[in-house]
Structure 1
Amino acid sequence: MLKAGFASIDITPDQRLSLMGYDFRWTHLPPGNTGVLDPLAARVLALEDGGGPALLVSLDLCVIHVDLARQIRRRIAKKAGTSPDRVLVATTHTHSGPYPQLPGRKGKPQDRKQAAMRRLNEPYARLLLDRLETAAAMAAGKLHPVSVRAAQAPLGIGYNRRVKVDGKVQMCWNPLEFPDLRPQPSPDPTCTVLVFREPHGPRQYVLFSLGAHPVCLGKTSQQVSGDWPALACRMIDQHLPGTRSMFFLGACGEVHPWIATQEDPQQLVPVASAAAGMVQLLVASGAGEKQADATIRIATRTWKHGRLELDLAAWRIGPATILAAPVELFASLSAQLRARLPSPLFLVTLGNGWTGYWPDRAAFDEGQYEIGATWGLRKGDGEKLIDLLAALAGSLDAPRR
């Protein structure tokens, strides 16, 4: 019998910590933040099917590096009495949260301003580790029987920010600021929902995955916020009694929400409302396959690619497959992945860390921002990653030994 337990804990930084997401803040604005628009949270769902605890963790942060993700997974696993392979940690990719860093991590030479920021980021990373241990223990300590249901549908909240003009790609960061550009919808608008519900009570845990950068708040904003995903979670929890929700980022490497990089925090509302509305619709409709006695299967692989190490994960929970990778994946690639695998597919990017952008072949030929921001990738590497993820998902169907 599948059991589940949920916990949430506050991870809001104090005003001394700068926000991660836009280089403009680091180069043009003073250090720190200007206060809290909405608090940040770490959300933990603990699952148990008789094979040991398995934990899914969602953090209202922009990114965490692979080394910190590994330490989080080890600490949580030890606290919950399980293996790190049975812990999946991901960030929502809000561009209005702090940047936790471990001491001693190699990186680019830092100026005084960056060094001062790092001295504050390291204690925050330690605080994060401690609070995640607490949240994991709380979630694993209140397990109860649940059924699981999975459903998905297209939701067009995002557009492809790479726009071709006269055969060349231009970046459309915000349709209002670039009125001459005509961006196309996201190549992968899929919204996937997992619902864990107790059989004879009101409690349910709703996980949703959708690919659009959490960048409703722009580069001049220094307010702490979980951006549109956090607001969507609050809306879902408010409108579905007994619900606690968690967001996981789908493929958004080249995808922005149609309302992006704004100064007015109220611009979060239309995007969050659209996401929350679709999730509520899928939950309330009862759509999708339901399993009352689901099991969990997990397959993992560490892919060493040049100087990068990617901790890939595939989970099968009842009717759904979860695929996770520490990448900002292009939605064009996730569309290819969905075409190769059965639905429903619950995609988790920035899962188990972060290794930068992973574009498709065409983008390497076209150039532009994301190509310059990759970490030493070459044309075709994104497709190799898709092959590995598809194979990892396929391994879940192998007979148990």
Structure 2
Amino acid sequence: MSRSLQVRSRLGARRFTACALLALAVVPLGAAVRAGFAERDISPTVGMREAHAVARHVFLTFVDPCRVRAAVFADGDTTVALVSLDALMIPREVVLRARTGIGHVTTLAPSAVVIAATHSHSSGPVGLVMPGQFDAAPADIQRLAYEESSLADPAYLARVEAEIIEAVRLAESRLQPVTLGFGFGEERQVAFNRRQKMKSGRTWSHAGAMNPDIVDYAGPVDPQVGVVGAWDHEGRLVGAIVNFACHATTNPGGVSANWPGAMERTVQGALRTTAPVLFFAGPSGDVTQVDNRSPYVNPTQAEWLAQVGGRIGAEAIKVLLSAPRTTDTPLAARQKLWRIARRVPLPERVAEARAIVDRGKPSAGALTEWTFARETLLLDHIVGIEPDVEVEAQAIQVGPAVFLSSPAELFVAFGLEQKQRSAFPFTFPVSLANGCVGYVATEDAFGPEGGGYETRLTFYSNLDVTAGRQFAEVGLALAAQLRPAPPPERPRLTRPGTPWPHGRVDPQVR
């Protein structure tokens, strides 16, 4: 059996175990856990640029709000915070400043706070180039960075930072005794690997619908919808967390939280609640809602947003309605910081990029070639200043669940492996957390049969080809330092049941 099939098989077995537990029950085992949830608005205004990796689009309409949502858990000994924001990414410097600010207004330690972006492609200007990042560069490189790239808005970054701090402060102030439920749903119809194996033996990203040269998908998907729910002692939902591996690229044409916002509205509508629903994107650097092997016309962007968000939300609802609940949820946090080297573009590649840019930006046709040339020149400059990058991985434990974070758009295979190897019954890999280092592909993707834009050397994506393996192993090593709590179960019967009197009767034909 292939490794990918082994992973899917074991995940399927684990899903069966989780589903077998899905029965409404409260199991008060240990010390009472407390939880608090809060949200703040971070919607960009019409006229702002969206944080898009390629284009410099300006928002002309408002579709739905972007928010930062925070969940704080406390067990008397440890307090942890999980923060999710509707953003393309979260710059490392914003994370560090926000953690410092959180430390000033709460009891939380910086290492116990994870801050992750949902990767909404229809959100505000948080990157990719930071204000002042290229001020020491030559004038032509400054122009490429500040006028031809996606540039963060300093005022918007300051607002996002302030609202992260306030959301965590509010969440901690709302701590109350809760029962927690954990489970997995499954959704197989909205997420597809966007990389295809071609007849040529190479791999392309988005090879095009019904392309006759497509042989197969180049990688797997992760169908699990991970869910954590928190209820007060009167049985009211106070907040939830959802984890799923799929790009938030159902862009509806204006300011929007993208499909994670529709997912939250689906959950809230069905359960008649306004409780915040945090979304954490699983490793999905190679997974989107686009099925390049489908013979059918794609939905409109608005339809896609509703379908993806609705179906993921429906799976979350099923888990929230039926997952057994417990108060025995020990908390813990582990963190590791280290540095990973950047890949350096060859001198001849830099010279070629210089020649392409010097010819001027084309209006169409060769725009892809020009864009990659721009990226090569920006990378060539930044490598000379910062040849390696500080990265962070975290393991945040909430009872039987562990959240394993990385700052990358990791390929989905790494998340599947972490789930398969983790000792926790509920393992939730979290991407684009505590910074952003771009696409991080499997080493196979860089080999002779690899390819696709996720493997190109750019200002956005440039870490050593072993980076994904490092993130996966460090996350697992941090999780191994923790002791999982047992998953909640339904109470068992202590004696046989009594037959129903009107059930133990003989049949009658007439």
Specify which of 343, 349, 353 is matched with residue 431 of structure 2.
349
> Which moves more between the two structures, 250-259 or 327-336?
250-259
Does the Cα contact within 8 Å between 2:180 and 2:231 map onto a contact in 1? yes
Closer, same or farther: CA 281–376 of 1 in aligned 2, 3 Å: same
The superposition leaves residues 97-142 of structure 1 with CA deviations (integer Å, 9 ceiling, x where unpaired) of 1122664335883438935998870011111122222222221111
User: Contact 1:191/1:210 (CA < 8 Å) preserved in 2?
Assistant: yes
Which one has a bigger Cα radius of gyration?
2
Secondary structure of 1:21's aligned partner: coil
- 1:83-98 alignment, distance < 5 Å: 83-98=109-124
Matching of residue 375 in structure 1 with residue 408 in structure 2: no
Alignment-derived partner of residue 282 in structure 1: 319
Alpha-carbon contact 2:131-2:153 (below 8 Å) kept: no
Aligned partner of 2:64 in structure 1 is 38
C-alpha spacing 1:39/1:397, structure 2 compared with 1 (3 Å): same
Q: For the residues of structure 2 that align with 1:79 and 1:259, how far apart are their CA atoms?
A: 46
- TM-fit CA distance, 1:336: 1.6
Corresponding residue of 1:385: 471
2:161 equivalent among 129, 132, 137: 129
The 8 Å contact of residues 328 and 356 in structure 1, kept in 2 or not, is answered as yes
In the TM superposition, residue 397 of structure 1 has moved relative to its aligned partner by 3.3
Matched, 1:338 2:424: no
- Could you tell me which residue of structure 2 aligns to residue 311 of structure 1? 392
Matched, 1:256 2:288: yes
Q: Distance in 2 between matches of 1:193 and 1:160?
A: 22
Distance 1:188 1:120 in 2: 31
Which of 460, 463, 480 does residue 394 from structure 1 map onto?
Answer: 480
Distance 1:174 1:85 in 2: 43
**Aligned equivalent of 2:84:** 58
> Is the Cα–Cα contact under 8 Å of residues 186 and 315 in structure 2 kept in the other structure?
no
Counterpart of 1:187? Answer: 221
What's the % identity of the aligned pairs? 24
Quick check: 1:53–1:140 contact (8 Å CA) kept in 2? no
In structure 2, the residue corresponding to 1:332 is in which secondary structure? helix
Structure 1 residue identity aligned to 2:318: L
Quick check: 1:149–1:291 contact (8 Å CA) kept in 2?
Answer: yes
Aligned AA for 1:249? A
- Verify the 8 A CA contact 1:328 1:355 in the aligned structure 2: yes
The CA deviation string for residues 116-171 of structure 1, in whole angstroms up to 9 with x for no partner, is 99887001111112222222222111111012221114322211111011111122
2:336 maps to which residue?
301
Q: CA RMSD in A?
A: 2.6
Corresponding residue pairs, total: 387
Query: Kindly tell me: are residues 100 and 172 of structure 1, through their superposed partners in 2, closer, same or farther at Cα, counting changes over 3 Å?
Result: closer
Q: How far apart, CA to CA, are the structure 1 residues paired with 2:411 and 2:149? A: 30
Distance 1:132 1:89 in 2: 9
Deviations 1:280-322 (A, max 9, x none): 11111226xx431322111111121121111211011111111
Is residue 2:103 matched to residue 1:77? Answer: yes
Question: Residues of 2 paired with 1:121 and 1:158: CA distance?
Answer: 31
Separation (CA, whole Å) in 2 of partners of 1:103 and 1:21: 16
Aligned in 2, Cα 1:183/1:268: closer, same or farther, shift over 3 Å?
farther
Q: 1:193 aligns to what SS in structure 2?
A: strand
| 1:149–1:319 Cα contact (<8 Å) kept | no
Specify every segment of 5 or more residues in structure 2 that has no aligned partner in the other structure, as ranges: 1-31, 293-297, 342-387, 485-510
Q: In the alignment, is the contact (CA less than 8 A) between 1:17 and 1:120 conserved in 2?
A: no
> Is the 2:80–2:333 contact (alpha carbons within 8 Å) kept by the matching residues of 1?
no
Alignment partners' CA distance in 1, 2:439 and 2:152 = 26
- How far 1:182 moved relative to its partner? 6.7
Whole-angstrom CA distance in 1 between matches of 2:214 and 2:452: 15
Q: 8 Å contact 2:194–2:290 — kept in the other structure?
A: no
1:22 CA drift (Å): 4.2
TM-aligned CA distance change 1:334 to 1:113, over 3 Å: closer
Q: 1:174: how far off?
A: 6.4
